[in-house]
Structure 1
Amino acid sequence: MRMMRNFFPKTLRYQMLLLILMIVSVPILLIGYTVKIQAEKALLQEKQIKLFGIARLLDHHLGNGFDTILSERHMLDEKRFDKIKALNERLASYTDIVAAVNVGVGVGYYSKELDAIITYGPSDTYANKVGISIEKLHPGRKVMETGQSMVQFGKLVRGNIMNVMLPIERNGQIVGYIWANELTDDVQAQLKVMDKNIVWSVLIGILVGMMLTVGLTNRFVKDVEEIKRGLQRLRFNLKKPIVSMEGEIGEIVDEINHMAQSLIDARSLNENIMYSIADGVVTVDTEGMITTMNQAAQQITGFTLEEVIGRRYKEIFRENDQFHSLLLDTLVSGTNHIGIEINYPVKEKYIYISISTSILIDSHNKTIGAVVVFKDLTQQHSLQEQVYRAERLAALGELMASIAHEIRNPLTAIKGFVQYLQNVDSDEERQEYMPIIIKEVDRVNRVIEQLLYFARPYKTHYMWVNINELIESTLVLVQNKTTRHKVEFRLFLADSLPQVEADAEQIRQVLLNLLINAMQAITDKGSVIIDTWQPDPSFVCVRITDTGNGIAEENRKKIFDPFFTTKSAGTGLGLAVVQRIISAHYGQVEIESQVNEWTAVTLKLPVVHQGGKHDES
C-alpha cells in the first residue's frame, strides 16, 4: 500500500491525466474485450454452421445408406474388410471433392455396423485412417448411441480440431455418423488476426481520447493553479482576492473571495467583542506563554500588551503562598474551573476576582492552550465586607443579650451559694455546695471558650487533607462502649476521592460536632450514615445522616444562630462554629430533615482553597 502511494502522482495535473487515462482506456478496453469475445464466438459459430452444412451434404450424398451401396455391389455377405473397401471406393471420391472445395477441412463417414472409418478426405493425406475403429470413449460413439449431433474440441484422429459429428439415421436406425472438422490452428490464426485488429483499434481510440482530454484539462489545471496561488496569498493577506474566472470555476472563486471577506468581518467582530467586553480575557499556549490579552484585562491588571505578550504567564502573575494559578492548573490537568472567587496578583497589588478557566482546542480536537476569563469584584467584595461587618454589629446586640442570659444564670447561682456559705460554719455544708459552685464556674468558662472560638477562630494552617482518613480518625473519638449498643455507624466513602486543601484540625472539629449532634438526636437505637463523593472536579462532599428525631420546621432557620439550642444542656454554639469554619474554607453547609425520621447535614468543600494560604476570617 505504501509503495502504491509512492508511485501515485502528487500533482493535480498528473492525477487528472491518470484519471482521464483510466476513464478513457477502461471503457475502450472493456469494449475491445467484449468485441473480441463476441467476434471469437461468432467465428466459432460460423465455423460450426459451415461444418454442419458440409456434414449434411455428405449425409445427402450417402443416399439410402451403407447397406444399399453394398447390396448394389452384391457385397452384403462379404467379409468386413471387403465391405469397408467397397464402401470407400464408392464414397471416397465425393469426400475428396468436398475436402478440396473447403480447404483445411477434414470429412468422412463412420459405419456403426463395421465399426470403422469408411472414408477420410482428403484421402491423399488421411487414407491410412480408413478401416480404423474409434476409441471406446470417442465422442462419435455417444453420437451413434444418442442420435444427437455434437461439437467436439480437442485432440482426435487428425490432431487438435474443432469436430462436428452428425448421426446417420436410416429407417429409424443409427447406422453411423458423418464428421466434418477443421484444425484449431487455422481457427486460432484467424482469431489472432482479428485480435490484432481489435488491439490496434483500442490503442488508437485511447490515444485519440488522451489527446482530446489533455487539451481540455490544460485549461482546467491552469485555473486550479491560479486558485492555488490565490489561496496561498489569502493565507497571509485576506484582503488580496483571487482573480475572477468564468464558468463553475469562477463561481468557486467568487465563493472563496466571499468566504475571505466573511473571515475579515468575523475577525473584526471578534476583535471588537474582545475589545469591548468588560471581563478580562487572557490566553496562553501549551507552553504557558501569553498569546492574547484584551483591553479589559489590561485595565484590570495594569499590564500592557508589550509587557506580557510572549512571556510566561507564571512570570507575570507570580505564584506564591497567596496565589496558585487556576489557568496553569487547567493547562496541565485539563480541569475547567468555573466562577471561582480568589485573590489575584496584578501589577503591584492583589485584587479580588471571579475567575473561569477552560482548555482551548483546535478543529482537530487538539489542545492548543488555555483561556482565563475574570471579572474584578474588588469593590463589590469590599462592599460585601462592609455589609457583613454591619450585620455582625447588628447581631452583636442580640449576641450580647444571649451571652448575658447564659452567664447570668450560673453567676446568680454562684453568688447565692457564696452568700449562703459566708454565714455557714459547718464544713459539711461547705463540702456539699463547693462542687456546685465549681460546676457553675466551669459552665461559664465553657460558654466563654466557645464564644471566643466563634468570634475569633484560630489561625488556619492549610494542607492537603484526605477527607476519608479524617472521617475515620474522627469516628474513633465518638465510638466507645456507651455508643456502640445505641448507634450503628455505616460508611460509604468514595475510593477515588481527591485530597482537599484545608485545615485538618478545624475540619475534624466540624466532623466531631456533627457526629455528636447526630448521636444525641437518636433517643433509642438508630444509625449514622456517612457518605463522601465528588459532584464535580472542583468540590468534594461529605454527608452525615442520622435516624434521630429530626428538626422541627420552625427551628430550621435558627439552627445556625449562636446560643440557639433545643437541648437542656447545650450551649447552642456547635452548629454556629461548624458554619463559621466551613465558610472560612469557602464551602457550604446544607441541612435537610424530616421530623421523627432523619436529619442529613451536607458539607461541600472546594478541592483547592479559594481564599489564599493564610486567609483569616
Structure 2
Amino acid sequence: MFKRGTLTLRILLILVMALVIMATLMGTGYVLLRDAQYTLMEEKQVKLFAFAKLLDISLDRTYNQILEEKGLQNASREEKIRALNEELKEVTDFVAHSEPGIGVGYYSKELDAIITYGPSEELGHNVGQPIAATHQGREVMRTGEEIIQTADLVRGEIMNCMHPIIRNGETIGYIWSNELVEDINIQMNQLQFRFRLTIFLGVVLAFVGAALIADSVVSRVNMIKHGLRQIQDDLDYRFPALPGEVGEIGEAINEMAAALGERRRLMVQMQRADRLAALGEIAAGVAHEIRNPLTSIKGFVQLIEEELSAEDPRLEYTQIVIREVDRMNRIINELLYYARPSESEKISGSINRIIEDTLFLINIKTINPKVQVHTQLNSELPNLCIDVEQIKQVFMNLLINSIQAIEKSGEINLETSLTPDGKLVRIAIRDTGKGIKPENLKKLFDPFFTTRDKGTGLGLAVVQKIVEMHRGYVEVESQPGQGTTFTVFLPISGGERINEGFKKEDFSSG
C-alpha cells in the first residue's frame, strides 16, 4: 500500500496515462476485432456467392436440354445423373481447385439429387444423393432466393451459400459454394491472436512511454493536455515548436498524428480492396477468356467486309459488329486494368500537352457536334514526373464522362493552374450536363457503380486509382441540372514522395 504523501504527481501521471491508453487500446481493439470478424465473414460470403454465380453463368442450358442433346431424356434416374455429372464435373472441379478449401456443386430439383460435388476426388462420392428434408436447399428451390446456412450437412460442419438455378422463370435446382466452419474458425482464431498480441504490446508500450515522459511533462502538463485534446478531435492539429523536452514530446505527438492519419487512409483503401478482391480476380479471368473470341469475331467480320461492295447494305451491320466488339474490348481493358494495373513508367511530361493530345484523340465533334470545348491552360506550369499514358487515360475518361452527361448541346471547359501554395497542379473539367444526384456522389468512384445502361462503372474508378498512384486526389462538385466539375490535383513532385505521402488536407485546393 502507498503511504500518505508517496503518491506523487509523477506516479499519478504514469498511472493515469497508462490506464487511459490501455483502456483505449482494449476498447478500440475490441471494436476493431468485431469489425474485422464481421468483415471476414462478409468477405467469405461474397466470395462463396461469387463462385456460385460463376457456376450459374457456366450452365448455359437446362438439365433437360443437356439430356436431350445426349438422347437420354427417357433414361433412368441413375443414367441421367451420371450423364449430367460427366457434363458438369469439369466445371465444378475447375472452380473448386481455384480456391482450395471450398466445395461447390449442382443440384437437380427434378432428379432430387446432387449432380456434381467438387473437388470430385474428395467429395464426388456424394453424387446422386438427395438432400435432407430439412436442408435449406429445398427452401432455395421453393422460393428462388439465395440462402446462407451454417450447419452439419453432407460435407460436415460448413458455411453453405446457396444460389437458385432459374431458367425460363422456373427454378430447376440450385448451386452451392461452401467452406468448412473449422477452416473459418482457424482464421478467426489467428485474427484474435494478432489483435490480442497487438493490444498486449500496446499496453506494455503505454506503461513504458508514460514512465519515460512523466518527468519531463510534470511542469507543463496543462499544455500537453490541451494539445492531446486537440489531436483527439482533429488529427490535423500539430503542436507548435517548443524548446527543450516538451518540444520533443510535441514533435513525437505530431508524428503519431500523421501516422494515424496515414493509417486511416490505408485502412479505407484496404477495406475497398478486400470487398472486391474475389470479384476482381474472377472478373479478370473471365475477361481474358472473352478477349480471344472477340479478336476472332472482329477479324472474320473484316474479312467479310472485303467481299462486300461499297453499296452493299450489309456493310452497315458489319460496322455495327466491329463497333460493338471495340466497345467490349474497351470494357475488358478497363476491367483488366482495375483488377491488375500495369506498372507505371514515369517520365517528365507536360499536363497541357497531354490535355491537347487527349482532345485530339477523342475528337469531340465527331461524338457530339453540339458540344463546345473551351480551354484555359496555364503556360507556366512545370513538367511533372508522371506516367503520360495513364494520365492521358484519366483525362480521356473524364472527358468522355462529360460528353455523355450532355444530352443535347452544351459546353466543356478545361482549366489548368497551380494551387496558391505552388505544391499542386490543378486540372478542372467542367461541363454543363445534367449533373449528378447528391446520393450518388459518394458512390461515384466505387468500382462497378454506374447510372448508365451501357456503363461499366469502371471509368471513374480507374481515374481515382491512377491519380492516387501519382499521390494526388480527385474532387467532384455537382448539382442536378447544373453540370459537374471534376478537379484533379497532382503534386509537383510527380508522386515520388511515396514514403511521406500527400493528403488532400495538406494543400489548398484554390
Same-fold call, TM cutoff 0.5: no
The two structures have a TM-score, normalised by structure 2, of 0.40
- Structure with more of its chain in strand, by fraction: 1
The two structures have a TM-score, normalised by structure 1, of 0.33
- Greater RCO structure (CA 8 Å; 6+ sep): 2
Larger Rg: 1
